[in-house]
Structure 1
Amino acid sequence: MNVTRRRAGQLVMGASAFVMLGGCVERLGRVTAAPPGVGPVQRDMYKDGLLRSTPEAQGVSSEQILAFLADVEGAGLELHSFMLMRNRHVVAEGWWWPYSPGRIHITHSLTKSVTAVAAGLAIDEGRFGFDDKVVSFFPEYVPADASENMRAMTVRNLLTMQCGHDKETSGSAWRPIDTPWAAEFFKIPVVHQPGGHFQYTSAASFMLSAIVGKTTGEAMADYLKPRFFEPMGIDRWHWDTSPGGVSPGGNGLTWNTAASIKLGAVHASGGTWNGHRILSEKWVREATTEQAPGDDDGAYGYQWWMGPGKAYLALGLFSQMSIVFPEHNAVLALFSAIDGSKKIKPLIWKHFPAAFVADKLPADPEAVVLQRKTAGLRLLPPLKPSHVAPPAGVNGKRLRVEANDQGVEWLSFDFAGDRCTYRMFDAHGEHVVTAGFADYLEQDTSMTGNRLHHEYRPPSQRVVAGARWTAPDTLEMTWQFVETAFRDTLVCTFAADGVAVDRSVNVNSKETRLPVLTGRIA
């Protein structure tokens, strides 16, 4: 599989055509209406190869799962999906439409725990060792005056986030950079003696990926394909590349919820999957036990966070999680748009592992309630068609945009029947999103959103778009970027001479609202 190519990684009934390429899905993009009524689990026919059971048959309390979902809803937290597994059986699962089982979702720093899989495999294959010096792999980038601390840094220090850096390097800092990121790594001052100071940073995870690539002769994503993705039945995924084709080890992986729960499950079983050994038991044990004191998020293993008791978790920005409860042979996987995992962690620890009551429980009517609840989950509210005439003089016209910091030159609105097509032109070309008034419309778009989207700027991304008139002169569009955590809201206020466009996002690491664009009728 060529991981540098754009993939859809999803199957949506009644949506765009698709073809299978190397285990992933590539769309033949067109705009399609989302199915009415919404029944995400029933409508998505994706087969993940996992066993199913009822909660009580595996000793799990349906009542506790319902209480967890109620607490999440009561706290106003935005989940996109969850899967709960015990004894290798999925006992509860749900997707908030338009998210669905086969749809891929960016994992952010959950990626780091997958990078740990690659590092563990490569170490066990003898490609490199824990005590190898980081500078030895990339002498071409090491400064002539490199400090003793930099020269002392080892692979083990990268794994435990004790590489001596004083500040975090976020993936958003390097994504706009076109030079090799390995060179950028060696520009970071190594203030502390490696091994004695914990500093969480995506730079350390990137270097692990770069070392795997350097010692195996292939990008980490390609190295993992026959060793991890294929044996685990992880067939829908995409991994971004950095300059030079190196897989970003700290982020950039997009896959579905089933893949997250499989990641946790193979660790819960000590490294085996369906009778086959994927990871060595020694590696799993060391990676998922405390190796460094960590910070407010807990102690740290090898690219895994430690939780209460013996729980451990893969954790990504905006609360993408795969949480393992090894004493209960259970895993909880979540995709979310929650700004700060501290908002949801207390709810998780409140109900799990308390939900794992016994080896087996009597049948409970609450299991039926839970099934009905999860079958009807929905994120985007139904649209209520409104009959407002589009503003005179605007329909189909290019509106010249006043000087702005986004590089936007013009925009336009085309109103036709029950949809509105919004076009925007900037330095990267023309971008289009078509929003429905009666039904949400699903499509691919190149619409620029990097400033609001943690600096991600893919050439194409999947969006579900709806529109409504909130006043005779005010159009509101909702763009749910369904392979990500991001949802943009555009409030377009029309006047006699043009329009003002106010664009914001539900979550982001930095700004959540762009300066208003003002378009004028020429």
Structure 2
Amino acid sequence: MKGRKMLTEFIDKVIKNKLNIYGIVVIKDGIKVCEYHFVPEERRELYSVTKSFTSTAVGIAIQEGYLYLNDSLLKFFEEDIPKDMPKEHLDNLGKVTVERLLTMSILDYPFVKLNSDNWLRHILSIPLPNVDERVFNYSNLSSYLAGVIVERAVKTNMMDYLKPRLFEPLGIENVECEYSPEGYFYGATGMKLTINELSRFGQLYLQEGFYNGKQLLAKDWVASASKKHIETREGGYGYYFWREQVHSYRASGMKGQVCIVIPGKNAVIAVMSDVGDRSLEMRKLIWDTVYPKL
């Protein structure tokens, strides 16, 4: 496989430690310098890396003038709110902005799997007594709402919206994803890509939104989405991107799907895996064995 020498230590330790990693791709200075697949490459579940694509969709919709960070939920869901909703809850919903959703700063949204036949109605009915408290609280509900907001604002489904604006320029065709019972893009999880497709998404961010001769994302959006807006136990969170060491950041999914953007090395490291609760161990291995060779 390409550039195996750079990955020799990483590969050896993956095997020794019995980490279920599918593959790794490393891009530096715009060139794929190494790639290794432990199993044949195919599209796999990204889990919460999906959230970073939702954030990207929000950024594109903002640059096209469809919505703003300080827009309230009420702007997009007025017709979905019951007429008999208590004024206090209505006021609290009005404090939930696009920015609060992107920063996961709504304390009252739980991290749960939705079983309702109408996710939107269920989420809008959740009491928000702590809405004024800006605290990091990871929840799929926030990213689901952010995705629905984009679809409501642009008046089309997410895949059709992103196809000419993101996927086609990145050379990604026929993206698989999940939808809610109402037919909205899930926004939190469910997308499937290959590791090479994921690495190109990271390269787009490394190049400040510029890819293959086109500015797909505004530079200021990339800077804002990737910087720390709220404190977490892991060092900070942007707009569905996690801050990493050495001023880097990552799109991250359950079971060890990661796309790490390292501006200081002009590099991207993408890994697809199924390591369960060993994601931290897997990321440490990347930093210990791959990063020093960049």
TM-score range, shorter chain: over 0.9
Deviation at 1:315, TM superposition (A): 0.5
Q: Which of 29, 42, 46 in structure 2 is aligned with 1:87?
A: 29
1:127 aligned partner: 66
Q: How many residues align?
A: 289
Q: Partner residue of 1:155?
A: 98
Letter in 2 for 1:311: S
Q: Which one has more relative contact order, counting CA pairs under 8 Å at least 6 apart?
A: 2
| Distance in 1 (alpha carbons) for counterparts of 2:36 and 2:173 | 20
Is the 8 Å Cα contact of residues 162 and 194 (structure 1) preserved in structure 2?
A: no
Task: Pick one of 270, 274, 280 that aligns with 1:342.
Answer: 280
Greater strand content: 1
Q: Distance in 2 between matches of 1:149 and 1:206?
A: 19
Q: Which runs of 4+ in 1 moved over 6 A?
A: none
Contact 1:104 1:236 in 2 (8 A): no
Distance (Å, rounded) in 1 between the aligned partners of 2:169 and 2:110:
37
Secondary structure in 2 aligned to 1:203? Answer: helix
Structure 1 CA distance, aligned partners of 2:197 and 2:285? Answer: 23
Aligned 8 A contact 1:157 1:194 in 2: no
Q: Secondary structure at the match of 1:298?
A: coil
1:320 aligns with 2:257: yes
Q: Does 1:309 align with 2:246?
A: yes
**Aligned residue type for 1:105:** R
Structure-2 separation of matches of 1:156 and 1:348: 31
Q: CA offset at residue 185 of structure 1? A: 1.4
Q: 2:181 aligns with which of 243, 255, 261?
A: 243
| In structure 1, distance between residues paired with 2:63 and 2:69 | 10
Equivalent residues of 2:92, 2:129 under 8 A apart: yes
Q: Of the candidates 263, 267, 273, which is equivalent to residue 330 of structure 1?
A: 267
Distance in 2, matches of 1:337 and 1:147, equals 42
Q: Pick from 78, 81, 92: which aligns with 1:142?
A: 81
Q: Deviation of residue 231 (structure 1)? A: 1.0
Query: How is 1:260-271 mapped onto 2 (pairs within 5 angstroms)?
Result: 260-271=198-209
| Partner secondary structure for residue 222 of structure 2 | helix
Give the distance between the partners of 1:336 and 1:195, measured in 2 at CA. 36
Structure 2 CA distance for aligned equivalents of residues 344 and 120 of structure 1: 30
Q: CA 1:166 to 1:114, structure 2 compared with 1: closer, same or farther past 3 Å? A: closer
Same amino acid, percent of matched pairs: 29
Contact 2:109–2:126 (CA under 8 A) maintained in structure 1: no
Contact 2:202 2:259 in 1 (8 A): yes
* Distance apart, 1:226 and its partner CA: 0.7
The one-letter amino acid of 1:185's match is I
Distance 2:67 2:109 in 1: 26
Q: Which has the larger radius of gyration?
A: 1
* Cα pair 1:237 1:256 within 8 Å, conserved: no
Q: Name the residue aligned to 2:7.
A: 65
Tell me which amino acid in the other structure corresponds to 1:242: S
Any unmatched runs of 5+ in structure 1? 1-40, 42-53, 56-61, 357-522
CA distance in 1, matches of 2:50, 2:109: 22
* Distance in 2 of aligned mates of 1:67 and 1:318: 22
TM-score (norm 2): 0.92
**Structure 2 unmatched runs, 5+:** none
Report the CA distance shift for 1:194/1:222 in structure 2 as closer, same or farther (over 3 A): farther
Note the C-alpha offset of 1:243.
2.1
